[in-house]
């Protein structure tokens, strides 16, 4: 077995359990079989299969699964909207000395699952995919995307978006991110990386509902308001 074949198999088994998707197939919407748009209740059994050692914390908006084996953090984050549908998935992993991966091997495996990126290349530390409303990859950025949120810096940063000021864009439905950290002493070898998937439509659905409720309150108040003459 060649070193390249062994590296790809190690990447498939150890990291994200990638399927046999190809560039011709529709880009995937999951990390390790946890799908965007799936019900929140279906998530925890899948997390136990991904890593049985995960310690899981859950609140009304998210699940955080975390383990730190041999000082190599493995963090899985899942965010949901008010309908209990998953709109955000992210996984960040740190690789020990014997399990590090070539950058080109990582990018190749990610592209086989999600397609050619919209922005970024093999020389970048951050690569981004953007999809239109038909689920096709955008060749150029179309989203007016501005977000901030809670940051988890596990050697490679993950941010769960807490979004304000979004607008539903005709050519923008999802965004994916690959963030990588290279070994300073061995350039080209990845010591940590994160994959993040955001379904903008599901996220905006919650925001749109909040905006509609706010508008109803304003209109109701306006009915009783009279000019002072």
pLDDT at residue 35, as a whole number: 95
What is the tally of structural domains in the chain? Answer: 1
**Residue at 86 is within a domain:** yes
Residue 125 has pLDDT above 50, yes or no: yes
A 10 A CB-CB count for 11 gives 21
- Rounded to whole angstroms, the Cα distance separating 94 from 116 reads 24
pLDDT tens-digit map of 203-214 = 877 666 776 778
Residue 2 has a pLDDT of 52
CB atoms within 10 A of CB 4: 12
What's the pLDDT score for residue 23?
A: 42
What pLDDT shows up at residue 36? 95
Q: How far apart are CA 105 and CA 22, in angstroms?
A: 15
Residue 9 domain flag = yes
pLDDT higher at 168 or 202: 202
Confidence grade of residue 17 (pLDDT, cut at 50, 70, 90):
very low
Look at residue 167 and tell me whether its pLDDT is greater than 70.
Answer: no
146 pLDDT tier (thresholds 50, 70, 90): low
| Residue 150 near residue 160, CB atoms below 8 Å | yes
Does residue 54 form part of some domain?
yes
∠ CA 130-135-137, rounded to 5°: 40
The Cβ of residue 123 has, within 10 Å, a number of other Cβ atoms equal to: 6
229 assigned to some structural domain: no
Q: H or E element: which one contains 179?
A: strand 174-182
Place of tokens 């038909």: 134
Q: Can you give the pLDDT at residue 157?
A: 52
Q: Is residue 26 part of a domain?
A: yes
Q: Is residue 188 part of a domain?
A: yes
Pair 89, 77: CB distance under 8 Å: yes
Residue whose C-alpha is closest to residue 189's, from 2, 10, 54, 60:
10
Q: Does the pLDDT value for residue 170 go beyond 90?
A: no
What are 8's two structure tokens? 């790809």
What is the band of 21 on the pLDDT scale with cuts at 50, 70, 90? very low
Tell me the pLDDT band of 129, cut-offs 50, 70 and 90.
very high
Residue 216 lies in a domain: yes
> Average pLDDT of 90-111?
89
Please state the rounded mean pLDDT for residues 163-190.
Answer: 77
Return all residues near 16 (Cβ < 8 A) that are at least 6 apart: 31, 32, 91, 109, 110, 113, 195
For residue 74, how many other CB atoms are within 10 A of its CB?
20
User: For residues 141 and 22, which has the higher predicted lDDT (pLDDT)?
Assistant: 141
What's the pLDDT tens digit per position in 32-83?
999 999 998 898 889 989 988 998 888 877 888 888 777 778 889 898 888 8
Residue 19 placed within a domain: yes
3-state class (DSSP) for residue 226: coil
Give the range of the structural domain holding residue 93, as residue numbers without chain letter.
3-224
Q: Is 34 helix (H, G, I), strand (E, B) or coil?
A: strand
CA angle 147, 169, 82 (to 5 degrees): 60
């Amino acid at each position: 077995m060649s070193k390249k074949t062994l590296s790809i198999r190690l990447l498939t088994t150890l990291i994200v359990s990638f399927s046999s998707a190809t560039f011709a197939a529709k880009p995937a919407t999951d990390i390790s079989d946890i799908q965007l748009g799936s019900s929140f209740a279906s998530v925890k059994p899948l997390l136990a299969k991904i890593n049985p050692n995960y310690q899981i914390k859950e609140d009304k908006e998210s699940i955080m699964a975390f383990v730190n084996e041999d000082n190599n953090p493995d963090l899985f984050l899942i965010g949901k909207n008010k309908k209990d549908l998953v709109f955000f998935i992210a996984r960040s992993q740190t690789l020990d000395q014997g399990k590090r991966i070539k950058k080109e091997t990582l990018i190749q495996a990610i592209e086989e699952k999600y397609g050619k990126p919209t922005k970024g290349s093999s020389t970048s530390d951050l690569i981004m995919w953007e999809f239109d409303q038909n689920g096709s990859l955008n060749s150029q950025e179309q989203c007016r995307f501005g977000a901030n949120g809670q940051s988890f810096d596990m050697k490679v940063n993950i941010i769960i978006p807490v979004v304000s000021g979004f607008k539903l864009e005709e050519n923008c439905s999802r965004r994916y991110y690959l963030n990588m950290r290279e070994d300073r002493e061995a350039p080209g070898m990845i010591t940590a990386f994160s994959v993040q998937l955001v379904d903008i439509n599901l996220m905006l659905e919650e925001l749109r509902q909040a905006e509609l409720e706010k508008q109803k309150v304003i209109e109701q108040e306006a009915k009783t308001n009279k000019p002072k003459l």
